[in-house]
């Protein structure tokens, strides 16, 4: 077995403790299942734990229910069975401790960048000047200083997703849920985003749950990867890429540990394609 990859078979409960960076779970998913109207079974008894302060990725083939699971955690759609605990409390709907970053950005075209970023605070009744000050800080944080008064249609796709990210950061949630956030931006922007995401995870002290279908992206950004099988979805493996981060980001992409994990996941996923 490759020493750079820790692959744990189900059940999750008897896995070994985390090697170095053990953390308590901030989000617990307990045998969650989801059957859509019409009898399509999307998730079948999924159990997962998401460690605090880390980035955990849900990875799997298209249509495997990754986004469904993420939206159940967000409280946007109800589960058909099982329960989700966030910070020890059961999820019954969206909550202030979770913020969502949307695949299609979900920006309001009629609102300026600063109003979009401050929107979560506006909904919570934070006073105008206060929320604009907070929004300004987060706009600068994602590198959009000077674009506060622009409108979404004046921005590129990558910049729009930065607005979506700033909006999620502005409400200061403990858990940031990201639904394929970089799939609608070009490859160069995507790589830049991945590097910035690592920096966010390292500095913000928040927990991130990330959905992607890109193996490379998952391995590059994740502390932990939950590999989901095809519908009805189960957790087929949990992988912890032990990659030395920091230093030259380009070096990571050529690093043998990185490449080995990518290869190992590909071997796991390829039989779903037949």
Partner 1 sequence: MQISELAPALPALRKAPAQRWRDLLIHPLVLRLVSFAAVLALWEYAGRIPLSPAFPTFLETLGGLGAIMADGTLFKAFLITLHPLVIGLTASIFCGVALGVLMGLHEPSEWLFAPIFVIAQAAPLAALIPILTFAYGIGLTAKVMTVCIMAMPVIVLNTLGAVRNTPKSLLEMGSSFLATRSQNIRLIILPAASPMIFAGLRLGCAAAFIGVILAELLITPTGIGDVISYNQSVADYPKMYAAILAIIVFSVLFIELLERIEVTLFRPEVRR
Q: Which residues are within 8 A (CB) of 124 and not within 5 positions of it... i.e. 6 or more apart?
A: 96, 171
100 binds partner 1 (CB under 8 A): yes
Smaller CB separation from partner 1, 100 or 258: 100
- Segment holding 212, helix H or strand E: strand 207-212
Among 9, 12, 40, 106, binds partner 1 (CB under 8 A): 106
Which has the closest alpha carbon to 119: 157, 150, 177, 163?
163
Q: Is 196 helix (H, G, I), strand (E, B) or coil?
A: helix
Among 21, 24, 89, 124, binds partner 1 (CB under 8 A): 124
17 binds partner 1 (CB under 8 A): no
128 binds partner 1 (CB under 8 A): no
Smaller CB separation from partner 1, 35 or 112: 112
Do you know the residue count of the chain?
274
State the binding string over 161-200 for partner 1 (x if CB under 8 A, else -).
Answer: ------x---x-----------------------------
102 binds partner 1 (CB under 8 A): yes
Among 15, 151, 172, 196, binds partner 1 (CB under 8 A): 151
Rounded to the nearest whole angstrom, what is the least distance from the CB of residue 175 to partner 1 in the complex? 12
Q: What does the buried/exposed string (b/e) look like for 142-166 if buried means 16 or more CB atoms within 10 Å of the residue's CB?
A: bebeebbeebbeebeebbbbbbbbb
**At residue 211, what are phi and psi to the nearest 5 degrees?**
-115, 130
Among 65, 120, 181, 241, binds partner 1 (CB under 8 A): 120
What are the residues facing 36 on neighbouring strands?
Answer: 40
Among 5, 6, 48, 74, binds partner 1 (CB under 8 A): 74
CA distance 152 to 110: 8
95 binds partner 1 (CB under 8 A): yes
Among 43, 58, 86, 99, binds partner 1 (CB under 8 A): 99
Which has the closest alpha carbon to 228: 75, 90, 70, 101?
70
- Cβ atoms of 107 and 163 within 8 Å: the answer is yes
Rounded to the nearest whole angstrom, what is the least distance from the CB of residue 65 to partner 1 in the complex? 17
Rounded to the nearest whole angstrom, what is the least distance from the CB of residue 119 to partner 1 in the complex? 6
Q: At what angle do helices 157-170 and 187-204 cross, to 10 degrees?
A: 20
- Segment holding 177, helix H or strand E: strand 175-179
Smaller CB separation from partner 1, 138 or 167: 167
- Cβ atoms of 49 and 27 within 8 Å: the answer is yes
Smaller CB separation from partner 1, 80 or 103: 103
104 binds partner 1 (CB under 8 A): yes
**Which residues of the chain form contacts with partner 1 (CB under 8 A)?**
71, 74-76, 93-96, 98-100, 102-104, 106, 108-112, 119-120, 122-124, 151-154, 167, 171
């Amino acid at each position: 077995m490759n020493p750079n990859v820790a692959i744990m078979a189900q059940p999750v409960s008897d896995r070994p403790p985390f090697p170095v960076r053990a953390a308590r779970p901030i989000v617990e998913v307990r045998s969650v299942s989801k059957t859509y109207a019409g009898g399509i079974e999307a998730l079948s008894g999924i159990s997962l734990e998401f460690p605090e302060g880390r980035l955990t990725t849900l990875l799997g083939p298209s249509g495997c229910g990754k986004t469904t699971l993420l939206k159940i955690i967000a409280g946007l759609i109800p589960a058909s069975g099982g329960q989700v605990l966030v910070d020890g409390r059961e999820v019954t709907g969206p909550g202030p401790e979770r913020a969502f970053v949307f695949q299609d950005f979900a920006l309001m075209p009629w609102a300026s960048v600063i109003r979009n970023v401050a929107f979560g605070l506006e909904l919570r009744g934070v006073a105008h000047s206060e929320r604009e000050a907070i929004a300004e800080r987060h706009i600068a944080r994602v590198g959009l200083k000077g674009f506060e008064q622009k409108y979404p249609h004046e921005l590129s796709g990558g910049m729009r997703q930065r607005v979506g990210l700033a909006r999620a950061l502005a409400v200061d949630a403990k858990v940031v849920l990201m639904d394929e956030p970089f799939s609608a931006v070009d490859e160069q922007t995507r790589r830049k985003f991945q590097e910035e995401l690592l920096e966010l995870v390292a500095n913000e002290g928040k927990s991130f749950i990330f959905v992607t279908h890109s193996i490379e992206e998952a391995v590059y950004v994740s502390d932990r990867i939950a590999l989901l099988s095809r519908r009805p979805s189960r957790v087929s493996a949990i992988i912890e890429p032990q990659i030395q981060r920091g230093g030259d980001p380009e070096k990571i992409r050529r690093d043998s540990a990185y490449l080995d994990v990518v290869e190992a996941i590909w071997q796991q996923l390829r039989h779903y394609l037949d």
